[in-house]
Amino acid sequence: MTSKETRKSPVETTENISGKENFLVLHNDEIHSFDYVIKALMDICQHDYTQATQCTMITHYKGKCDVRSGDFSSLKPMKEALSNLKLKTTID
């Protein structure tokens, strides 16, 4: 390691106890408008407008997008909130 490289402290990681990082994945549904999905990502996942727009575009063109990473317990409420808005999500 060179002097310019730094290691992440345990506080900065988003891995859970098992060491596996989880991802909240938004799936394309061909139903909701871009504006609807962007607003949902901003409200629930705390994305700024640019990040929400990029995730929405990736979901539209690629079929899915990782919209958040972290431990399962922090992603589950976001998944449920997005599901309540009829958006298709999974935690992988």
Domains parsed from the chain with CATH numbers: 20-91 (3.30.1390.10)
Quickly list DSSP for the chain: --TT--PPPGGG----TTS--EEEEEE--SSS-HHHHHHHHHHHS---HHHHHHHHHHHHHHSEEEEEEE-HHHHHHHHHHHHHTT-EEEE-
> Residue 8 above 80 pLDDT?
no
More reliable by pLDDT, 2 or 52:
52
Mean of pLDDT over the chain: 85
Is the pLDDT at 12 greater than 80? The verdict is no
Q: Report pTM.
A: 0.79
Comparing 12 with 87, the larger pLDDT belongs to: 87
The pLDDT value recorded for residue 18 is: 55
**Tally of CB atoms within 10 A around 29:** 11
Residue 2 has pLDDT above 50, yes or no: no
User: Is 4 a residue whose pLDDT tops 50?
Assistant: no
